Chain A
Amino acid sequence: DTGVSQDPRHKITKRGQNVTFRCDPISEHNRLYWYRQTLGQGPEFLTYFQNEAQLEKSRLLSDRFSAERPKGSFSTLEIQRTEQGDSAMYLCASSPKKTSGGFEQFFGPGTRLTVL
């Protein structure tokens, strides 16, 4: 399977714990995005990278959230001191480098986080 992969697929944690998610984009896609989706809502943008550079962060990305893409390949999203409001599906997407066009984004299966 050459699509976007995410690990773990499910995570249950207790409030106050730290969690880390991993995303592996489609090979040679240079842009990588993180979104969060709660029930009944569309995905909400968190942050994105072009290669290893983090180009944009949403206001939703509080100080407890940090994302990295150290070598321009896979990315990690860490949430420190989790809160029940962090419970959501965390989606990763990637898009290829294009000289024109819409930069279509392709999503991974997501990591479903439950904070107890």
Chain B
Amino acid sequence: RKEVEQDPGPFNVPEGATVAFNCTYSNSASQSFFWYRQDCRKEPKLLMSVYSSGNEDGRFTAQLNRASQYISLLIRDSKLSDSATYLCAVTPQAGTALIFGKGTTLSVSS
């Protein structure tokens, strides 16, 4: 079993749709969780950290389920500019190496 797994997609959705991505992790001791966005041939950009209580930033909502060992990202009212690859990342200990999934590709069309 891979340490961090994501559905690679692609997810093809129309503008305005709501889309959700899940990411599972194998190490139950993982402490920190993140979602990154990566555009083609660019570096990953931090989208949001994921906290135990869940957190929201505008149209984006992140949730953590420690019991089932997964994190999720919900994007509401999708925009064309949301088209990208979304990477989840976890760390076994805060400040150490990020372990990434392969990423989920989102394509938003008009």
Interface residues of chain A, those whose CB is within 8 Å of chain B, are: 31, 33, 35, 40-45, 48, 50, 55-56, 58, 91, 93, 95, 98, 101-110, 112
Total number of B residues with any Cβ neighbor in A under 8 Å: 24
Q: Can you report 22 residue pairs joining A to B where beta carbons are below 8 Å apart? A: A33-B97, A33-B98, A42-B101, A43-B87, A45-B98, A50-B95, A56-B97, A91-B43, A98-B95, A101-B49, A101-B94, A102-B33, A102-B91, A102-B94, A103-B95, A104-B34, A104-B46, A104-B49, A105-B46, A107-B44, A109-B43, A110-B43
Q: Dominant SS at the B interface?
A: strand
Instruction: Tell me whether B1 is interfacial, beta carbon within 8 Å.
Output: no
CB-CB under 8 A from B72, the residues of chain A are none
| A112 proximity list for chain B (CB < 8 A) | 41
Report how far A102 CA is from B98 CA in the complex, Å: 11
Q: Is the CB of A48 within 8 A of B46?
A: no
